[in-house]
Amino acid sequence: MSEPRTLFDKVWDAHAILTREDGTTLLWIDRHFVHEGSFHGFGMLDHAGRPLARPDLTTAVADHYVPSRDRDQPIRDPEVANMMQMLRTNATRHGIDLLDLDDPRQGIVHVVGPEQGLTLPGLTMVCGDSHTSTHGAFGALAFGIGASEVSHVLATQTLWQRRPKTLRITVDGTLSPHVAGKDVILAIIGRIGAGGAVGHVIEYAGSAIRGLEMEGRLTVCNMSIEAGARAGMIAPDDTTFAWVEGRARAPKGDAFAAAVAAWRRLPSDEGARFDREVTLNAADIAPTVTWGTSPETALPVTALVPDPAAEPDAARRTRIREQLDYIGLEPGRPLEGTPIDRVFIGSCTNARLPDLRAAAAVLRGRRAVVPGLVVAGSVPVKLAAEAEGLDRVFRDAGLRWGEPGCSMCVGMNGDLVAPGERCAATSNRNFQGRQGPGSRTHLMSPAMAAAAAVRGAITDVRNLA
């Protein structure tokens, strides 16, 4: 009998073309996504005069720079207009399917991939974007790459990779009411740290993970990179297969049945070895928010702002103090009740239909006391939300309902948080200046962001529901 293997091992082994003496493996890549920011990669390809190896496995999506309003009008910022035009030119010239600004499939690449059935169990997937880890929710090996690697994949449909280590994170038990996938992943990063999974591929396992719907699993895998992981994966199961079935680019009919039969063999074998193991108890996870400028500063909303004076380690003490200075919080004060200036509900972490439903459930019949922006992850999500009347709930609460894209997650399209403003955000990064120079970001779930909008302060959604 062969050695028991992990989910990761099985996907890796199925894509290894050859392994060199130095241990580097040439991996076949099943799907490659490009976006406006990929122009450097195309530039290198053109500079070397090389053709695209497999345009049929490449998909181009306009997401990072797309405006969230006035889509029927020309883009005012000439540099942004140029980025969009470059993507169009590169896609057309190389024969790549393009989900442009006016395409009914358009949206954030990590929302679009699964939605179109391009994301499947057992695939290798890459994109010049660190949150490519999102697609691992389907049991794919998906990771972000830089521009040089983008050009390598464009030219060869392969990548040289060193086999990463494996880390299994098991979350067993039942999640409490109002605790979502976002709280699970924030709690995990709070536990293992922003560099806690460097060099590893994480497999999320346990009954609490299996109990999540696909969108919750996508949220968890999305933030794998915030723990430093190369990728995050979840074993595919009936929930996965049911979600994939019938999607436009997924296998159909007999091919689908054959695929499911193959996918059922993907989960880690009994007794498979991981390089590291971490376990969490689902019942211990509360609605979680960050207080600092790294996602590892995640704490239960009921916690107090940490006090650097209480930290024995000098380096960590300095690090806490620097973050508190930037974020403008007082040590020892309760996190709950911290006044906020703005909310953002969106991003590849939390802009799918169940995310918008969770936010709308809190906002229904209530008013937001601060300005806010809600941006669906894709046009199909936006249309589905509108069919349910969710856009009305957000608008009636006083929030703006924007057009799909990355928007205020990174502010490349001009949707910025003003200097010094504090934003309750459902995105994945609270880095210094991430939402705009001087912006202060608190990461949380959609329900928690909605609660913050209603109270104008960080709020335990359980006290509002």
Partner 1 sequence: MTPFTTLTGPAIGLDRANIDTDQIIPARFLRKPRSAGYQNFLFHDLRREEADFPLNGATAAILVADSNFGCGSSREGAVYALVDAGIRCVIAPSFGDIFAGNAGKNGLLTIVLPAPLAAALRAQLPAEMTIDLPGQHLHFPDGTVHSFDMDPFRKRCLIEGLDDIGLTLAHAAEIAAFQERDRTARPWAAPSP
Contacts with ligand SF4 by CB under 6 A lie at 63-64, 108, 110, 129, 131, 347-348, 406, 409-410, 427-428
The whole-angstrom separation of Cα 146 and Cα 422 is 31
Residue 353, beta-bridge partner list: none
Q: Does 437 bind partner 1 (CB under 8 A)?
A: yes
Nearest residue to 16 via CA among 182, 142, 160:
160
Cβ-proximal residues to 372 (8 Å cutoff; 6+ apart), any chain: 342, 343, 344, 345, 398, 399, 400, 453
Q: Which stretch binds partner 1 (CB under 8 A): 140-148, 279-287, 375-383, 457-465?
A: 140-148
For the CB of residue 145, give the shortest distance to partner 1 in the complex, in Å.
6
Binding residue (CB under 8 A) for partner 1 from 104, 146, 371, 420: 146
Which of 46, 69, 100, 144 binds partner 1 (CB under 8 A)? It is 144
Tell me the per-residue interface mask from 398 to 427 with partner 1, x by CB under 8 A, - otherwise.
Answer: ------------xxx---------------
Cα(19)–Cα(32) distance, integer angstroms: 22
Nearer to ligand SF4, 25 or 439 (CB): 439
Tokens standing for residue 157: 């449909």
Of positions 5, 50, 71, 88, contacts partner 1 by CB under 8 A: 50
Q: What's the per-residue H, E or C state across 413-458?
A: CCCCCCCCCEEEECCCCCCCCCCCCCCEEEECCHHHHHHHHHHCEC
In this complex, which beta carbon is closest to ligand SF4, that of residue 45 or of residue 410?
410
Amino acid in position 305: V
DSSP string, 154-213: HHHSEEEEEPPEEEEEEEES-PPTT--HHHHHHHHHHHH-TTTTTTEEEEEESHHHHTS-
Out of partner 1, ligand SF4, none, what residue 24 binds, judged by CB under 5 to 8 A for its kind, is: partner 1
First to last CA, the chain: 53
Binding positions for partner 1, 117-136, rule CB under 8 A: 117-118, 120, 122-123, 128-130
Q: Show the tokens assigned to 379.
A: 């046009």
Cα angle 415, 419, 424; round to 5 = 65
| Residue 347 contact among partner 1, ligand SF4, none, beta carbon within 5 to 8 Å by kind | ligand SF4
Q: Contact letters (x/-) for partner 1, 336-375, by CB under 8 A?
A: ----------------------------------------
Which among partner 1, ligand SF4, none contacts residue 418 (Cβ within 5 to 8 A by kind)? Answer: none
- The nearer residue to ligand SF4, 282 or 373, going by C-beta atoms, is 373
CB of 396 to partner 1, least distance (A): 32
DSSP letter assigned to residue 128: S
Q: Rounded to whole angstroms, how far apart are CA atoms 15 and 33?
A: 18
Nearest distance in Å: CB 380, partner 1: 17
Within 248-277, which residues bind partner 1 (CB under 8 A)? 248-252, 255-256, 258-259, 262
Of the pair 339, 419, the CB lying nearest partner 1 is at 419
Q: Is 198 in the site for partner 1 (CB under 8 A)?
A: yes
328 binds partner 1 (CB under 8 A): no
Strand (E) or helix (H) holding 400: strand 400-402
Picking from 313, 25, 354, 263, the residue whose alpha carbon sits closest to that of residue 164 is: 25
> Any alpha helices (H) in 271-352, and if so which ranges?
314-327
Interacting partner of 198 out of ligand SF4, partner 1, none (Cβ under 5 to 8 A depending on kind): partner 1
**Binds 71: which of ligand SF4, partner 1, none (CB < 5-8 Å by kind):** none
Beta carbon of residue 138, minimum distance to ligand SF4 (angstroms, whole number) = 17
Is residue 245 packed enough to be buried (19+ CB in 10 Å), middle (13-18) or exposed (0-12)? middle
Cβ distance to partner 1 smaller for residue 137 or 457: 137
Q: Which amino acid is at 144?
A: G
Cα–Cα distance for residue pair 333/331, rounded to 1 Å: 6
Tokens found for residue 113: 């991939």
Determine which residue in the list 98, 155, 278, 384 makes contact with partner 1, applying CB under 8 A: 155
